[in-house]
Each structure stands twice: as structure tokens, then as C-alpha cells.
Chain A
Amino acid sequence: MDENAVTISLTVNGTEHELDVEPRTVLLGALRDLGYTGANVGCDTGRCGACTVRVDDVTIKSCLRFAVQADGAAIETVEGLAEDGELSTLQEQFQEHHGLQCGYCTPGMLMSADTYLRDAEDPSRAEIRDALEGNLCRCTGYHNIVDAVESTAEELARGEQR
């Protein structure tokens, strides 16, 4: 650690952490050093989306933001999606529709889809594809991911009606 280290605090999935980081450490690196290894390093250039997390309710690519920029922020990662060991509807639908293979893009894909589904009403498949454009997957060809997101939207709409 160099002498320029900065002490910051990050609240990750509701747990507060205080940590020393180099100014050049990206948020992704800081999260992984804290043990949140769900978000993955894929491209180092903000292209693949495997590192997607939510910072103060907005999805970002955590390889493009310095950890010091997130000082004091509330961060949500894939580790926070399941509650008390119960998969979220979106996670369940990914499993049911075989929306993942190697799983490396999945944490980022889930975070993007989860955020999108907060506001999306009855999205079309084309709209879902647009929403996931920032997340690359090399295994699935996307079809089953779109299925999973589409059926989650339907499930959530049914849930709200009830």
C-alpha cells in the first residue's frame, strides 16, 4: 500500500466497511478485496459488464469508477439479491430458463436486469435486449436470458396485482 492511501467507507449490501485504498484502485478491486467476489473482472474497459453493481440505486460498471469516488455510498452487489437464502424471482427465472452457463457474466447481468425491472412495465423482448446491451454474454446467445427477464417481469406484475 503506498503512502497516498485513502481511508473510505463503503456500505455493501447493508454492511458498512472502512478500508484503505490507493486512489487508483477501482471500486471493483476494492469490493473484491473485501470478499465480494461476485462481480467479476472481464474487460478492464467498461465494455463487458461482468462488474456491474448498483451504487446509490444506479447500476454502474465498477471497473470504471475509483473506489474513492464511491466513498460513503450504498453499494449493492449480486451477493445481496437473495434474501435469507431464498433466491429472488429474477434469480429463480434465470435458473428455470437456463439463462446462464459459465456464470461469469451472470452477477452483472442480474444487477442490470434487476435494476431495469424496477421500472419496466410489460417490456417487449426488444426492450429487454436494449436494457441488457451493456452486459456481454458469450455462452447463452442471450435468448434464454431474455426469456428469464421477460418471465420475471410477468411474475412481478402478477405479484403486484395480488
Chain B
Amino acid sequence: MSEGDSASGAFGAAIERDEDVPLLTGEGIYTDDVSLPGTTHLAIKRSGIPHGRILNVDTSEAEAMDGVIAVYTGEDVEESGVPNTIPTAWDLPGLVQPQYRMLAVDAVRHEGDAVAAVVAETAHQARDALEGVRVEYEELEAYADPVEAVEKDVSPVHEEAEDNVAFDFELGDAAAVTEAFAAADRVATVDLRQPRLIPNAMEPRAALADFNDTTGKLRLWMTSQNPHLHRMLLSAGTLGLPENKIQVIAPEVGGGFGSKIYHYPDEAVTSWCSMQLGRPVRWRATREEGYLTDCHGRDHVTTAEIAVDDDGTVRGVRVETHAGLGAHLSQFGTATPSYLYATIMSGQYAIPAIHCRVIGAFTTTTPVDAYRGAGRTEGIYVIERLMDVAARELGLDPVEFRRRNQIDPDEFPFETAAALVYDSGDYESTMDVALEHIGYDDLRERQAALREEGRYLGIGVANFVESAGLSPSGLAGQLGAAAGGWESSIVRFDSTGTLRVLVGTADQGQGHRTTFAQIAADELGVSMDDIEVVEGDTDRIPQGMGTYGSRSASVGGGAIARAARAVREKAREIAAHQLEASPDDLEFEDGEFRVAGAPDRSLHVQTIAHEAYLGHDLPEDVDPGLEETNFYDPENFTYPFGTHVAVVEVDPQTGDVEIRQYVGVDDCGEIINPLIVEGQVHGGIAQGIGAALFEAAAYDEEAHLQTRRMDEYAVPHATMLPDYGTETTVTPSPHNPLGVKGVGESATIAAAPTVVSAVVDALEPLGVDHLDMPITPASVWQATRGEH
């Protein structure tokens, strides 16, 4: 845990959340709750067809409709002279990067592409006027399948990529893999698809833009996981306003799961309209618009092979994936299926040779980008499916097979054949906690007994490791990132001793205001009641990177801890001066600096804060004030890990899958707040089970999205999910200032392979060795009749 000699006991305590009361009473302010006088309303005309050339856009009818203030087309945006380019934030070798504009000009490339913007006095009027925007298209071939997109002769999404290949990425040593496969006793193969998922944050994306003509400043409230990144992309990419003339405010944000990381056209269009009109402009996505435009996740088609020896040793893994990117390159749409996917392919195992090829394909569909667990979820799914398939090929218990290949605790730091250096882990022990919790050996006996009765119980075990908190910045830059991996915090005492923690992360339900206050309370011995955590406003927090990739506790928390420690050291100097002692002779406990051996001579850090702002009696070389800024750039990712186990019963007659028991054991390093860690694990499991059994964004043959409403896309209800058993183990990250690893995505990564493994295990007697997600009653029914 934290170094040094302070402890107020806040770190590690299951403290109820500070943020709950306003959210429980309806007082929480989300973007769509903010109101400004004179606000106008924006509605966006979507293409409605998946692929076509724009021949003509006629806005005259719409312009004449009641309450309509203005109707803008892609040409209007172009002519305004703004840069109008939604940037990619991660370059790859040979990457094709067509321009992605705020409003389409030449062609539409998926049903959600924005073609025109209507601003009216009321939301109803704006929406009504969409009917009055007439667009003529020459329709082109449309396709949703990433393999079809690159292998068939189709009219390409972008002229710049005639074969629809945005990138062809390779990681690992192909020659070593060939050698390993040739030398191995056996090779097992699995062909699998990971369907598109829609993140489904409960709050739709929304924006309220207020451009002030006089000051030239834009205030933009928006549903953002990373307001500073949005400020930068809006400035440099689309609007061309100086960065210091943009204020992005993310108030309460109702869930994100990745979908609110990105710079979409809509929030920029909202801002641009406000710049044209000099009036506030509000936009909120309908749920259908969200399904058509919020970046989807996954969309992988994969062939994976594993080479094993008869003694159960894995010798190599080879993976080839077609990753659907959708119609445009979203910011991390390139990084997610490449560096965030291929690099995790070693899982928890010591695998000497790995090679992974990923073909990133444009399709005439909604763009795909990071969704909870991004890349790591897809990669762990592949390796865990391979481990199951290989275990069955070898006739070994899947747990025993995994055990033989897990990296041992004394092998860390462990460099994998997929280019990562895992920081720390105790994989086998954590797996044993999970097996013990669920009673694995007894379950296997029970399974055998039930099989005698013609019942199909399945036990699924999946191990995961996750690269969390993308860093360091220098390495990310070498690999193509257009942003850093640091986080920034200012820890500031007020003159009366209250404390503010400003940090560049941005909460969407994770409980930062509580956990970050716990960190500061622990470092400085200040009561939680005296601490305010400030996030989500680029004019209040100067710099930041935001919240994604399980980074907030480890990177944001690391910046807070380091800033707080610097504050403590300055306070120590002042205390030593006023107590007439040497700084080295001061002990610090519960906020109090005490002279060693003379405990009655002491000063509290909050008193020193007051002295620091008075400035009357400071050491000669110490400036007034008590605040410090820290930019924390981690030296490596952190690597949370764990084992999840599911017990299911499958009815082959109906195809029904019932989850009888679910246990997740997670190791996220040091735990700041166990209540919140448990909550993150629960939610992650729910999304993983959703993916395994219920959810998929379906397109028809002509790339029309079929799942357009919440009654067509199966976001799980309370009755569809089980209770969860959870436990934690603690293996600190050796390089993180707090020993923290992060937990935001872990359980999502774990849950999908766990549940799939359990269902396939249940159906082993019927010869089923793999089922694609989502495993529906129909797919079980077909598989058990040999039709899979």
C-alpha cells in the first residue's frame, strides 16, 4: 500500500459512496438536465441506407417548416472552413485513413451516417423537419460481414481502400510458431465469431453547446468519458477553435463502457451549429440513433490453432482474425483489434511461440471501437476457447491442463511471446480460491451422476489476465498512439484546511469521488468530509486523459497519491520550520506532524495549510500556498487477473441454459474500496453473461441493422441474470504507487469465456465442442442435433 507513515484507515475501507445521495433523490445533473435560456434544438438527418452516393440534398421544405431556424448540409460545414476531420487516434503500419467528416458530403457509408442538421425552436419541431430534408442517393452494395468485405468483389466503403482492408497487422514470430507446430504432438483448431455488441449505456449520448460570439468561447456539456480528449479532438480535428476557447463539461454521466470515449460527429455538429447561430443548441440521441451510431464492440471472425504435446504442454498459438471496423475509423478502432487484442493472446500461460494476424476491414456498418474489455476480452476469449478445445483433444481435465501451463509466481516479471511484460501474478492460487469456492471436484462428481440421469450440467472455468492502464506514453507513441498514457492531478489545500483533489479522469458510475477521496484521506490524514474530488470540467481541471481501459484507479489514483505525497513533503518543511525541528525528525500520522520523542510538539497538516497561505512564517526557500500538480506516466501496464467459474444446466430439448451458480475471483492488486470493487465485478459479469447468452447486433443481408430498439437487442433484465459469488485475492502491482491494478473491465473479460465453456462442457456428451456467442436456445437446439 502507500509508502511512508500515514494512515487514516480510509484506503481499503468499504465506504458508502459520497455520490449516491443526489443520484437517489433525482438531484443528479446529467447533460440533458442542464438548461440554458434561449436554447435551440438539433435533430440530425441520418442516411437511412447503408451505402450510397449522395446525388442531391434538398433542404428547402424543411427550412419552411414551423419553428425551423436553420438546416445545414455537409457542404455547409465544408464551406465554413473548419478542419472537419474526426481523427483516428492510433496509427498502424500501412493504415488507410479516409477523411471522416462531421456531415457526409459525397457518400453515406452506414445507416447512421449524418447527412444534415436541423435546428429548431423545439425538439419536436426539429424532429418533424427531418421529414422535410430530401436526399437523393445512388444506392451501392452494402455488406456487414468483415470477411465478405475483403474477400468478395464489392464496391468499397472508401475509394482509398479498394479491397476494404484498412490494415493488415501482425504480431509475434511466425517462423517460431511454424516450428512449434511442426514439433508438437497435436494441433487443435477452433473457428469462432465474436458478434457485434452494443454498449447500451442507459443514458443516451447528449450535448448542449453554447458558443459566445463575443468571447469566441465554446462551452460544451456532453456525455464524455474523457473531456480533455474531447477538447483536444474538437479543437485540432473538427472545429478548429483554439483549445483554450473550448470548455468541455461532463456532468453526471449515465454509463459509458467505452461508448462515450469517442469523438462522434454529433457533438461536433451541435457545437458547430451553436457557432453559426450564436445560440445554445441541444441534441440528444434517441435510443435508435444510439444503436445506429454509438460505436459497437467486437465483430471478430477468427481461426485459432493451438499446438500441444501429449503431456499437456502448450507449444504455440496461431490466430488469424478478420475484425470489422465499420464504415469509419473511430479513434481507437484501429488499436482495439490490434495492440489491445493480439498482445493478450498468451493469457495466463507460458506459451513459447505466438503469432497473430488481424485484417481490419471496412464494412457498411456502424463504426466499431472499444467496448468494456476492448481487445483483451476478444483475445482472452480466443485463448480460453483454445485451452478448452485442446484439453478435450488431450483427454485432460480443463483445469488440470490450465494448471500445467500457468505462469508461476516466481516467473514475474514475465515477458510473453506476445510482447507484454506481466508485472505480477499468482494465477494458480487465485484459480484454486475459485475452485474451492464453487466446490469443483464435487461438481465434477455431480455432473457425472446427473449425466447418468440424462441431465446436462456444465462447469466452465476461465482464467484471464488483462493489460490495464495503457502506458507508458513513450511506448504508446512508438506503437502509433496519438495520445499519452499519463494522468494528471492537482491536490490543493484551501487556506482553511479543506482539500480539493482535481483529476483528469471522468466518472460514469465508477465512484471516483469516493475512492479518490479515500486515497487523499489516506495520504494526508484528512477526514473524508473535508475532501472534494473534482472531475469532468476542462476549465476546472487543467489536463487529463480520462476514464477508459481500467485506468482510473491505477493511473489517476497514482497521480493523486503522488501529488498528495508532494503536498505532504512541503507541509513537512513548513511544520519543521515552525516546530523548530529537522524535517527528518518529524513523524507523520493521521494528519499530524510530531517531533520524534516530543509528541506534544505537533502541527496538523490542515493547520499548516492555513500557515502556508498566510505566508507569515515559512522557511526561507519555501513559497506560500499548499498545492502540487502531478503527471503520472506509469512505467508499464498493470495486469489484473483472476478465475471465474460458472455452473449451468442445459436442457437439450428446449435449448434453455440456466446459470445455477457463478463465482468470480478477481485480483486487482490493492483494493481501495471493496464495495466498489465488488460492484465493478458484478456489472462486468452481467455484461459478459449478456454477451455469452443474449446480446448481438444483427444485420440483414443488405447491412440494415435489425436490432434497433431495446426490445430487439437483449440487454439483460434482472430475471435473466443470477446472483454472483465474488472473492478477491491481492497481488499488488510492484510499479504502481498504490499497488493498485484496476478492475473496471476484468469481469467482462472473464465472464463470456466462462459461460461459453460451461455450456459447451454441459453438451460434451452430445459431441458439441464449441458454440458461438450468443448461445441462444435455438443454437443449442441445433447443435445438439448435429447442425452446428
Using CB atoms and an 8 Å cutoff, list the residues of chain A in contact with chain B: 1-2, 22, 24-25, 32, 36-45, 47-48, 50, 77-79, 81-82, 87, 91, 94-96, 98, 100-107, 110, 125-126, 128-130, 132-133, 135-146
Contact present for A100 and B20 (CB under 8 Å): yes
B678 at the interface (CB under 8 A from A): yes
List of 9 A-B pairs having minimum Cβ-Cβ separation, nearest first: A38-B26, A102-B509, A104-B254, A103-B23, A141-B686, A101-B509, A47-B710, A141-B682, A78-B26
Contacts of B703 in A (CB 8 A): none
Pick from A24, A40, A87, A142: contact of B24, CB below 8 A. A87
A14 to chain B, nearest CB (A): 15
Contact present for A140 and B709 (CB under 8 Å): no
Pick from A2, A110, A138: contact of B202, CB below 8 A. A138
Given contacts A78-B26, A87-B24, A104-B254, contact A98 B17 (CB under 8 A): yes
Q: Which of B672-726 contact A (CB under 8 A)?
A: 675-676, 678-679, 682-687, 709-711, 715, 717-719, 721, 723-724
B528 to chain A, nearest CB (A): 15
Contacts of A104 in B (CB 8 A): 30, 201-203, 252, 254-255
B286 at the interface (CB under 8 A from A): yes
Contacts of B286 in A (CB 8 A): 44
B313 to chain A, nearest CB (A): 37
Given contacts A2-B66, A48-B710, A133-B718, contact A140 B682 (CB under 8 A): yes
Contact present for A45 and B287 (CB under 8 Å): yes
Pick from A40, A95, A128, A140: contact of B254, CB below 8 A. A40
CA distance A105 to B509 in the complex (A): 11
Known: A37-B29, A45-B287, A82-B25. 14 other contacts (CB 8 A): A37-B30, A40-B202, A43-B710, A47-B710, A100-B20, A100-B23, A100-B509, A103-B28, A110-B24, A129-B719, A130-B718, A136-B715, A141-B683, A144-B678
Contacts of A140 in B (CB 8 A): 679, 682-683, 686
Q: Which of B1-60 contact A (CB under 8 A)?
A: 16-17, 19-21, 23-30, 32-33
B657 at the interface (CB under 8 A from A): no
A86 to chain B, nearest CB (A): 10
Contacts of A38 in B (CB 8 A): 25-27
CA distance A105 to B716 in the complex (A): 14
| Residue of A50, A143, A146 with most chain B CB atoms under a 10 A cut-off | A143
CA distance A138 to B714 in the complex (A): 11
CA distance A22 to B715 in the complex (A): 32
Q: Which residue of A lies closest to B289 (CB)?
A: A44
Given contacts A47-B709, A104-B255, A125-B723, contact A146 B679 (CB under 8 A): no
CA distance A162 to B17 in the complex (A): 30
Given contacts A40-B30, A42-B204, A77-B26, contact A138 B715 (CB under 8 A): yes
Contacts of B203 in A (CB 8 A): 40, 42, 102, 104
Pick from B16, B27, B202: contact of A42, CB below 8 A. B202
Contacts of A45 in B (CB 8 A): 287, 709-711
Contacts of B675 in A (CB 8 A): 98
15 A-B contacts (beta carbon < 8 Å): A37-B32, A41-B32, A43-B287, A47-B711, A78-B25, A94-B24, A95-B20, A103-B23, A103-B254, A126-B719, A136-B202, A141-B685, A143-B682, A143-B724, A144-B682
Q: Which residue of A lies closest to B685 (CB)?
A: A141
Q: Which residue of A lies closest to B676 (CB)?
A: A98
Q: Which residue of B lies closest to A102 (CB)?
A: B509
Contacts of A95 in B (CB 8 A): 16-17, 20-21, 24
Q: Which residue of A lies closest to B681 (CB)?
A: A141
Contacts of A107 in B (CB 8 A): 26
A129 to chain B, nearest CB (A): 4
Q: Count chain B residues whose beta carbon lies closer than 8 angstroms to a beta carbon of A.
A: 56
Contacts of A126 in B (CB 8 A): 719
Given contacts A125-B723, A129-B719, contact A142 B686 (CB under 8 A): yes
Pick from A36, A103, A146: contact of B718, CB below 8 A. A146
Given contacts A43-B710, A95-B24, contact A138 B201 (CB under 8 A): yes
Contacts of A94 in B (CB 8 A): 20, 24
Contact present for A136 and B717 (CB under 8 Å): yes
CA distance A137 to B26 in the complex (A): 16
CA distance A44 to B287 in the complex (A): 7
B31 to chain A, nearest CB (A): 11
Q: Which residue of A lies closest to B689 (CB)?
A: A141
CA distance A105 to B16 in the complex (A): 19
Given contacts A91-B25, A98-B679, A142-B686, contact A43 B66 (CB under 8 A): no
CA distance A81 to B718 in the complex (A): 23
Given contacts A129-B718, A143-B724, contact A105 B202 (CB under 8 A): yes
Given contacts A78-B26, A102-B253, contact A42 B287 (CB under 8 A): yes
CA distance A77 to B25 in the complex (A): 9
Q: Which of B242-290 contact A (CB under 8 A)?
A: 252-255, 257, 284, 286-288
CA distance A145 to B718 in the complex (A): 9
Contact present for B24 and A43 (CB under 8 Å): no
Pick from B122, B252, B721: contact of A141, CB below 8 A. B721
B444 at the interface (CB under 8 A from A): no
B124 at the interface (CB under 8 A from A): yes
CA distance A43 to B254 in the complex (A): 13
Contacts of A138 in B (CB 8 A): 200-202, 255, 257, 683, 686-687, 715
CA distance A45 to B711 in the complex (A): 8
Contact present for B253 and A106 (CB under 8 Å): no
CA distance A24 to B685 in the complex (A): 40
Q: Which residue of A lies closest to B20 (CB)?
A: A95
CA distance A86 to B25 in the complex (A): 10
B643 at the interface (CB under 8 A from A): no
B477 at the interface (CB under 8 A from A): no
A85 to chain B, nearest CB (A): 9
Contacts of B719 in A (CB 8 A): 126, 129-130, 133
CA distance A36 to B684 in the complex (A): 31
B723 to chain A, nearest CB (A): 6
